[in-house]
Amino acid sequence: MNAAKNTLLFRGLKEPFDPSRIRSQDRLGGTDFTDCPFEALRYANARRGVLLVLDAPATARISEELWLGAKARRLMFWGEFAPFVVAVIPAKDLRAQVRRKGIASASDQEKAWVLNRYIRSILPQASEPAQSL
């Protein structure tokens, strides 16, 4: 999975992201991410849900795992991922994007494309620490 350039990965959380709550043993193991923002948004299905956007470096150890029934890829990021989080986006902002007129009735693949484009447009241009948008 290691590519020549950085890859954006997504993870939906039901609660706001707090890097201090990550246990040290989790940093040695793997954490699930996906390459599809719409699939990750489905996991952030709570009032305070957020979507983590991870800019995974080309040197990161990432493996593709089995994910039954989903069309998106399930990717396991091995090791500590918190330093690579470039944005924490409230899920309600992303849900508003896919509920817009003309998008709400679109396919999941088209919704993922819309979200991917929206997320890339709001990401900070410079390499800055994670920020809530």
Q: Are strands 74-78 and 62-65 parallel, antiparallel or unpaired?
A: antiparallel
List the domain boundaries for the chain: 7-122
The confidence score (pLDDT) of residue 128 equals 47
Question: Which residues are paired to 12 by β-bridges?
Answer: 51
Query: Bridge-partner residues for 10, per DSSP?
Result: 34, 53
pLDDT at residue 40, rounded to an integer: 92
pLDDT 10s per residue in the chain (133 long)?
Answer: 444 466 899 999 999 988 777 665 455 678 889 889 999 999 999 999 999 999 988 888 888 887 666 677 888 888 888 888 899 999 999 999 999 888 888 998 999 999 999 999 998 754 444 555 5
pLDDT at position 18 is 82
The domain at 7-122 falls in which architecture?
Alpha-Beta Barrel (3.20)
